[in-house]
Structure 1
Amino acid sequence: MTVLKALKKMFGKSEAEQLAPAAPLPVSKSPTEGAYRETASPVAPAAPAEVSSQPAAPRPKAERPRRERAPKPVVAPWKVEDFVVEPQEGKTRFHDFPLAPELMHAIQDLGFPYCTPIQAGVLGYTLKGKDAIGRAQTGTGKTAAFLISIITQLTQTPPPKERYMGEPRALIIAPTRELVVQIAKDAAALTKYTDLNVMTFVGGMDFDKQLKQLEARHCDILVATPGRLLDFNQRGEVHLDMVEVMVLDEADRMLDMGFIPQVRSIIRQTPHKGERQTLLFSATFTEDVMNLAKQWTTDPAIVEIESLNVASDTVEQHVYAVAAADKYKLLFNLINDNGWERVMVFANRKDEVRRIEERLVRDGVNAAQLSGDVPQHKRIKTLEGFREGKIRVLVATDVAGRGIHIDGISHVINFTLPEVPDDYVHRIGRTGRAGADGVSISFAGEDDSYQLPSIEEKLGRKISCEMPPTELLRAVVRKPRVEPAADSE
């Protein structure tokens, strides 16, 4: 009681008042939240001069203005009839083949109304399940030809009910990392309306990062270089016993680069050639290439497309007779005087590529290099920078230059003539793409001019050799250094 008296004296309340229960608060339902909440209500009405500190009661739902929601636009499902391509004499439409609507939708998005000659020739056989050997240069549409065959096969045939993540149904082997990346990019565009997964395995990139692809989803189409694919296979991460379609791209280049022993090891892991479809593509049909085709295919259809004219008809070709000591001056002044913005320069050796790139950068030209010594992640960034116009001049070897499909390259310069005539055709094919005009300029010096006759024989015509204008041989005036747009790691 002593405590109660003390409280009474402190707060000025009686004992009864201290112990009396608090009056219950009225309960109201919030119309906006649909949940019950407690709101305090004064016991006595407030004086007129006082402003209530309580929030105003929410307006009943019926009194609030209603905002009309805009109806969602109705998107009609895509139909093949939406892809209108008129028949033309001498041209084959994709409509002329039994392709799935999802694939036709992707083809329309890519803007391909008619087949190229290699596509029309190959698809007539491969869509019926036959093996095929195709001879065609890069830039003729052969990538789309075998991708359309693969996608058709995989969409028409349901996948096995039981399969490991690392069991691809289609395998594409290509000799260079750049070509693998380009093929995978094309495959992703053509499979965008399907459930097929595309993966790439290339050397020079993080192994664990590539492995995580397999842990996340099934692999339907695998594009790989031979060495990295063998790494995955030998570690037991990739199993090739369920491959339904196998493609060997640029078989002649794989021969030149010494990859055939690795390719043999890979093919031994796949089903027997009678149980899979095999497509082989090569720029040339040498005796070695045909022997490989005989070993790996069954009664193949042979499709040959004379594609040299594809490059030469759209590319204006020049040859300058110039001393080796004057080549760099000629290169710099050609690029600088004409203001060319997207140029590819080819040299035969990695050390030549490095020196050319270093001198261009030192003299104020935004340049970058592509060779086997450049790490893969940097090569990809360099290509993207070149594609986006951030890099003005790309200097490359033939190995690194294979598989580069970038529109808008105005000029190709052969700083040294290639030792293999086929490489000349590949080089100049980097310009004059997609119907655009292009220019190639070759420097013929005392060390490489003897290559010219074999190149002319390959082309089937002469290329006039001329002396460069004197002003293009003047000394280089050094400009402030411009750092390359690609990472300088």
Structure 2
Amino acid sequence: MPAAPWDISEFAVEPVDGKTRFHDFDLSPELMHAIADVGFKYCSPIQAQSLPHALQGKDVVGKAQTGTGKTAAFLAAIIDDLLKNPITEKRYAGEARALVIAPTRELVIQIAEDAKALCKYTDLKIHTLVGGMDYTKQQRRLHETLVDILVATPGRLLDFCGNKDVYLDQLEVLVIDEADRMLDMGFIPQVRQIVRQTPHREDRQTLFFSATFTDDVHNLVQQWTYKPVTIEIEPESVANARVDQHVYLVSTEEKYTLLYNLIQQEHAESMIVFANRRDECRDLYEKLLRHGIKAGLLSGEITQNKRVSTLDAFKNGDIKVLVATDVAGRGIHISGISHVVNFTLPEEPEDYVHRIGRTGRAGKSGTSISFACEDDALRLEPIEKLLGKPIKCEQPPEILLLLPPELPALPPRSRHQERYSNRSVGNRPGGNRSRRPRH
């Protein structure tokens, strides 16, 4: 006997003064069923302010930090629009209805996971296109399954567009997420090429999000949006109040000793260690492994499959310490991380906020510890200015400066290993597929 159809009465959420419910937007029943499953009751400020406009098809420009709920805001608007405006004529492989561009592979995968959760009771198909993963597998899926929501990094998306595997001329909704980050990473020329392949801004809906708004970001807004509604969400606190922040004054030579001893502390259940450079992360990771510490590495040099398996191992508790660069760490959304360590202070103050925001989530408290040597001192003042308050600098407790055991000797490496250890091979398709004509 088939199950009775779901009814919104099964998801009761009491009205509360000053709060907006998802019930208040007349969303599609299939979408509301999924929202009930994930437990969304009341909207965050970015959701409450952007959804009324986005659901009317207006362009929205949102200033909001990571972790404010903007992903659910734009996904809810996209899904509701696609469900209420189904395509009746024939569709072709690779023709996306909605496109979300994000700067990092981790963020793309996270957005796609959220989209799949919200599309649970629909027939909408979500595809992800990211570098570092099997091109042919992504290509095959595009050929075999229609694409409703496409989530992609700029470079990999351009590869697929260039090979005639993806077409953006029928796009209904374009989302540009973390625009400031894409500027920092040098992706804007690629994004320009992508936007040129979409319908004119008057003929598509554009949802544009950025944590900061420089003159360059404002210029992009003017070029890519049409009569947008602008929404600014100022975080209640730039840094999470549940994060206990420490800055330890140490020499460069003492940093690893301090890190090793921190990891040994009983209350350090899980830890992300941030460093500014890939080679620094690689060196830390290898030292931790040699000291018998279960560690994982996330940086741009690691293949995507390896990064996904490393994150899964960290979530499951098989790995205690994750060593990451800012680019790799931006898309990490894992609750229960007890400690964040800034092995080197970031060059951009906003990255400090993003880093320490990995802990103190879901109502739990967290600890952030930054190591400041002579080279890091100049980076402290801009961070304090952003936070709006000074950070207390202190000498580390003596117990954290005890010399760790000597590192065991490295096994000898062959010349073949030296040559190929940091190289990865990607698959490229053999040829282009010609496009079928429209009717």
TM-score by length of 2: 0.91
The letter of the residue matching 2:388 is G
Q: CA deviation at 1:312?
A: 2.1
- Residue 386 of structure 1 is matched in structure 2 by 314
- Asked whether the 8 Å contact 1:137–1:308 carries over to 2, the reply is no
Say which SS state the counterpart of residue 89 (structure 2) adopts.
coil
Q: 26, 41, 45: which one pairs with 1:113?
A: 41
**For residues 231 and 222 of structure 1, what CA distance do their matches in structure 2 show?**
14
The letter of the residue matching 2:265 is D
- Asked whether the 8 Å contact 1:308–1:459 carries over to 2, the reply is no
Matched, 1:85 2:22: no
**For residues 268 and 93 of structure 2, what CA distance do their matches in structure 1 show?**
48
Say which SS state the counterpart of residue 463 (structure 1) adopts.
coil
**For residues 307 and 421 of structure 1, what CA distance do their matches in structure 2 show?**
16
- Residue 130 of structure 2 is matched in structure 1 by 202
- Asked whether the 8 Å contact 1:177–1:202 carries over to 2, the reply is yes
Matched, 1:299 2:299: no
- Residue 431 of structure 2 is matched in structure 1 by none
Matched, 1:236 2:164: yes
- Residue 399 of structure 1 is matched in structure 2 by 327
The letter of the residue matching 1:426 is H
Matched, 1:253 2:153: no
- Asked whether the 8 Å contact 2:143–2:165 carries over to 1, the reply is no
Q: CA deviation at 1:187?
A: 0.4
Q: CA deviation at 1:480?
A: 8.8
- Residue 264 of structure 1 is matched in structure 2 by 192
1:436-478 CA distance string (max 9 Å, x none): 2111111111111211110011011111111101121110025
Matched, 1:426 2:358: no
- Asked whether the 8 Å contact 2:238–2:353 carries over to 1, the reply is no
The letter of the residue matching 1:383 is L
Q: CA deviation at 1:198?
A: 0.2
- Residue 461 of structure 1 is matched in structure 2 by 389
Within 5 Å, give how 1:32-431 maps onto structure 2: 75-307=3-235, 309=237, 311-431=239-359
Say which SS state the counterpart of residue 181 (structure 1) adopts.
helix
Q: CA deviation at 1:375?
A: 0.8
The letter of the residue matching 2:211 is A
**For residues 346 and 442 of structure 1, what CA distance do their matches in structure 2 show?**
9
- Fraction of identical pairs, as percent: 62
The letter of the residue matching 2:112 is A
Q: CA deviation at 1:165?
A: 1.3
The letter of the residue matching 1:435 is G
**For residues 251 and 33 of structure 2, what CA distance do their matches in structure 1 show?**
54
Q: CA deviation at 1:339?
A: 4.8
- Asked whether the 8 Å contact 1:415–1:442 carries over to 2, the reply is yes
- Asked whether the 8 Å contact 2:238–2:387 carries over to 1, the reply is no
Q: CA deviation at 1:311?
A: 3.9
The letter of the residue matching 2:53 is Y
The letter of the residue matching 1:295 is Q
Q: Which runs of 5+ in 1 are unaligned?
A: 1-71, 482-487
- Asked whether the 8 Å contact 1:342–1:392 carries over to 2, the reply is yes
Q: CA deviation at 1:307?
A: 2.0
1:295-316 CA distance string (max 9 Å, x none): 0001111111112616422211
**For residues 8 and 400 of structure 2, what CA distance do their matches in structure 1 show?**
55
**For residues 230 and 315 of structure 2, what CA distance do their matches in structure 1 show?**
35
The letter of the residue matching 2:6 is W
- Asked whether the 8 Å contact 1:332–1:476 carries over to 2, the reply is yes
**For residues 478 and 302 of structure 1, what CA distance do their matches in structure 2 show?**
57
Higher relative contact order (CA 8 A, sep 6+): 2
1:127-174 CA distance string (max 9 Å, x none): 111101111111111110110010011001011512211000000000
- Asked whether the 8 Å contact 1:431–1:437 carries over to 2, the reply is yes
* RMSD value, Cα: 1.6
Looking at CA atoms only, which structure, 1 or 2, has the larger radius of gyration? 1
1:227-272 CA distance string (max 9 Å, x none): 1100010111111011100000110010011110100000000000
**For residues 331 and 94 of structure 1, what CA distance do their matches in structure 2 show?**
44
Q: Which runs of 5+ in 2 are unaligned?
A: 410-421, 425-439
- Residue 435 of structure 1 is matched in structure 2 by 363
Poorly superposed stretches of 4+, deviation over 6 Å = none
TM-score by length of 1: 0.82
Moved more, 207-216 or 311-320: 311-320
Moved more, 421-430 or 302-311: 302-311
The letter of the residue matching 1:165 is A
